[in-house]
Structure formats: C-alpha cells, structure tokens
Amino acid sequence: MQSRFRSDRRLTVRMTVTLFLLGLLYVGFIAALITLLRSWVLVVVLVGAMFVAQFWFSDRIALFAMHGRVVEREQYPELHAVVDRLCAIADMPKPVVAVSDMDMPNAFATGRNPDHAVVCVTTGLLRRLDPAELEGVLAHELSHVAHKDVAVITVASFLGVIAGLIVRFAFYSQLFGGGRRDQNTAAVFAAVLGVSAAVYAISFLLIRALSRYRELAADRAAAHLTGRPSALASALTKVTGDIARIPSEDLRTAQAFNAFYFTPATGKEPGIERFFSTHPTLQQRLDQLGRISAELGEATAPGKAG
C-alpha cells in the first residue's frame, strides 16, 4: 500500500544503487572465500542462515538489544494516539509501538516492511518533548517505515557484520583444521583478512552515505506530513543538546545502533568524521527544515519552537 508520505525518488535511486553495489561486492567476497577456504557449503549456509535471521527478526533483535518492550494503548494512551493520528494521515498500517526504559532521549524504527514494523521511543524522549515535538519525531520514524529504508539499512548493515564473522570463521577453521592446511594457514588468513578489510571499508562508506541521505529524506517527509517543520527542528535541537550532557559511558551501548536512531548517540557534533557519520550534522538538518518552513510559510523559525 502506498502511504501519503512524500515519495523520494532520489532516496529510492540511492537505495537501489547501494544495494546493487553491495550485492556485487559480497558476491565477489563470498566467491573469494569459497576459493580460499575450499568449503562453499559452510560459507553459503552460514551467510544464508544469518541473513535470514537478521532480516526476519531484526525488530526483535533491536528491541532486545535496546531493552525495549511493546506497550499497549492502556499503558501509553498519548503515545498511541499520536501514532494513530499520523498513520491515519499517512494512510499506512500502524506499527507495533514500543518503549525503552532509557534516559537517553531517542527513537528508532525497525522491521522488514510496513506490515511488520516497530517504532520505539525512550522514556527519556517522552519526558523531554512536548506533544508537537513528539509528533515530529514519530513522523520522522514512520517515514523510514513508509520509504522502506528501514529494511534496506538493516540488510546493508548486516552485510558489514558478516565480513567480521567470516574472518573469525576462516581463521579458526584453518587454525584448527590440521593436516596439510596448517602449512598454508598464515597465507590463507592473510588473504581472507585482506579481502575482508577491503570489503568492509567499501561497504562502510556506501552505508554511511545512504544513512545520511535517508535521515534528511525522513526529516523532509515528516515536515511536509505534519506541516510543522519548526516542531521537528525544536525536537532535534533539544534531543541533540540533551544527549551531549549524558555521560559518554552511558552512550557506548547505544552507539552500535546509531544508524537506526533519530539522532546519533555520540554526545558531540562530528568534525572531519562527519564524512563517516550515520547522520548529517545538526546544522544541515536545521537548514533544510528552515527552507521547508519558508516554503510552507510557517511563522515560527526552526530551532526556536517549543
């Protein structure tokens, strides 16, 4: 079903190109591993099983990792009401609603498609945002589901994890394989490590570039759906500022899921590392929302709402 979130052809093209390039990259990667390890059955079965598990259970894995729990309307009536309203406006299926008991203000969406999606917010976010700001954040997350970029980033991110796991598998299978293979252990390990490092580096850059663009696309779609880009800008400013005040040790667990978050759990604005970040800078996002606010003739300037 087509939602009323603004379609973004540039996002669709970027997702298609990224997945195509990653697909070629990993076909070559697996072919190289099969050649080096001479055990195609184990390689293909391992990669295939893990891919299916990640794709089909990504929502459960993310909720478990971030201590999220599914909540019913009776527990969080206001949260459900906002999600209901946005889904009605967008003409899309309502996702499962979840809450994570974390002080870090943030939100994320996950799931393989709009019919099997989860939108999760932290209790820290609920405490800090007013209703209009919360609506902007939830519209941002729902746009990820509607654009189907949640599934794409899940698949793309998983491929990077596979590279590291296969390196370990290759190392131990050769190290403890015994027999004639022991003489070639160092050479095989070096070759596998080299191929994996190259694959990881290329996939890392492709995924980060896609991730930054999809965040801007979600901001645009949310601003147009709600008609209040200033509320989203206010939420961005507030959340980013509050995350910066959270001790870095409390953010480390969350940082593994930065690609899925509304704002990254870094605690600071990136410098040169912005080229490798999962998100655009706060200023880039506010500038875009400012332009949309001007287009819509909104009276309140972005970053000063609330």
- Any known ligand binding at 295? no
Q: What HEC string does 9-67 produce?
A: HHHHHHHHHHHHHHHHHHHHHHHHHHHHHCCHHHHHHHHHHHHHHHHHHHHHHHHHHCC
- Any known ligand binding at 78? no
Catalytic residue among 74, 141, 249, 269: 141
- Any known ligand binding at 140? yes
- In angstroms, the CA 145 to CA 249 distance is 30
Residue length of the chain: 306
133 noted as active-site residue: no
Q: What is the dihedral of CA 27, 29, 34, 39, to 10 degrees?
A: -100
Binding residues for Zn(2+): 140, 144, 215
What amino acid positions are annotated as catalytic residues?
141
Binding residues: 140, 144, 215
